[in-house]
Amino acid sequence: MSAMDLVRIQTDGRIAAVSFDTGAKANALSQKLMRELTEAARLFAGDPAISAVILTGRAENFTMGADLRDPEGVDVRRLGLAERRVRLRTGPAMCEAWEAVDALTICAIEGWCVGGGAALAVSCDLRVASEASTIYVPEVERGMNMSWGSIPRFVAHVGPARAKRIAGLCEKVSAQTALGWGLVDHITPPGGALAKAREIAEAAAKLPPTPLKMVKQDVNVAALALAKATAHRDLEAFALMQQTDDFREGVKAFFEKRDPDFTGD
């Protein structure tokens, strides 16, 4: 296993815990962090010794989403389409890697879970959120489409109308609302998400691992059978959106802390 700078992995019997921390409160998803999270997931992809994997961010925030100031990410926007299509696969690859983990995956959310963080969270099997947490998908408000294969996953969890409210209308979803919608599975007092995730992982670890993993796979196939058919173009759409005036205006307005003035171009 290669050394990781931003991701920490601990194992305890049949349970693995993966945490990521950039050292900043926003805990934003840089290209480097996403690569490390992908590598961490692939370590457990088919590990017969692991029954449950917990994923968590910082105590203040799970993550505020993709790092729009990341030099690697900014450089991607300057590339030609052919190379940009390849480089834009980092986020989708991370989510696919977490969805492909054989063991039960449990995401523990404190604080904000934004954009790409929400895409990562719904790639896991279960989500535990503290009462103080908020799930927010602002991509459309930034002049982008929501990508990373997340739309079919949102639909599988909350249905089409609520998925449109989350990813289309950019509604901020409280933990209590997320629980009622089925977007999260448990809520806890602030600071308690990781402990509850561990409780679930311990219950999973007591079960025979192979049938548990078989059931997980069967459920995912049933729920996401058409996922690739419905999300195959979201990366291409994102690459197109990057060339629009509305994308540039959305990102600029975000950094300038003002309302964007979209034109539809």
Residues 99-142 have pLDDT tens digits of: 999 999 999 999 999 999 999 999 999 999 999 999 999 999 99
Radius of gyration of the chain (CA): 18
Q: What pLDDT shows up at residue 1?
A: 45
Name the nearest CA neighbour of 122 among 142, 140, 143, 146.
146
- 260, part of any domain: no
- 203, part of any domain: yes
Instruction: Give pTM, 2 decimals.
Output: 0.93
Beta-carbon neighbour count of residue 164 at 10 Å? 15
Name the nearest CA neighbour of 154 among 235, 224, 73, 83.
224
- 263, part of any domain: no
- 229, part of any domain: yes
**Total domains, the chain:** 1
- 1, part of any domain: no
- 2, part of any domain: no
Helix (H, G, I), strand (E, B) or coil at 7: strand
- 265, part of any domain: no
Q: What pLDDT shows up at residue 110?
A: 98
Q: What is the 3-state secondary structure (H, E, C) of 156-206?
A: HHHCHHHHHHHHCCCCCEEHHHHHHHCCCCEEECCCCHHHHHHHHHHHHHC
- 238, part of any domain: yes
Cβ-count burial of 82 within 10 angstroms (0-12 exposed, 13-18 middle, 19+ buried)?
exposed
Residues 147-156 have pLDDT tens digits of: 999 999 999 9
- CB 178, CB 135: distance < 8 Å: yes
Q: What pLDDT shows up at residue 85?
A: 79
Does 11 or 84 have the greater pLDDT score? Answer: 11
Helix axes 160-167, 150-158, angle to 10 degrees: 130
Name the nearest CA neighbour of 112 among 124, 104, 121.
121
Beta-bridge mates of residue 178: none
Indicate the pLDDT class of residue 78, thresholds 50, 70 and 90: confident
Q: What pLDDT shows up at residue 161?
A: 98
Name the nearest CA neighbour of 42 among 13, 77, 86, 7.
7
Total residues found in the chain within this entry: 265
Domain, as residue range, for 220: 7-255
Mean of per-residue pLDDT scores for the chain: 93
DSSP 78: T
Contacts (Cβ under 8 Å, ≥6 apart) of 45: 97, 100, 101, 102
For residue 115, what is the domain's CATH number? 3.90.226.10
Q: What pLDDT shows up at residue 171?
A: 98
Q: What pLDDT shows up at residue 217?
A: 96
Indicate the pLDDT class of residue 74, thresholds 50, 70 and 90: low
Strands, sheet with 112-114, edge to edge from the N-terminal-most edge strand: 112-114, 134-136, 173-174
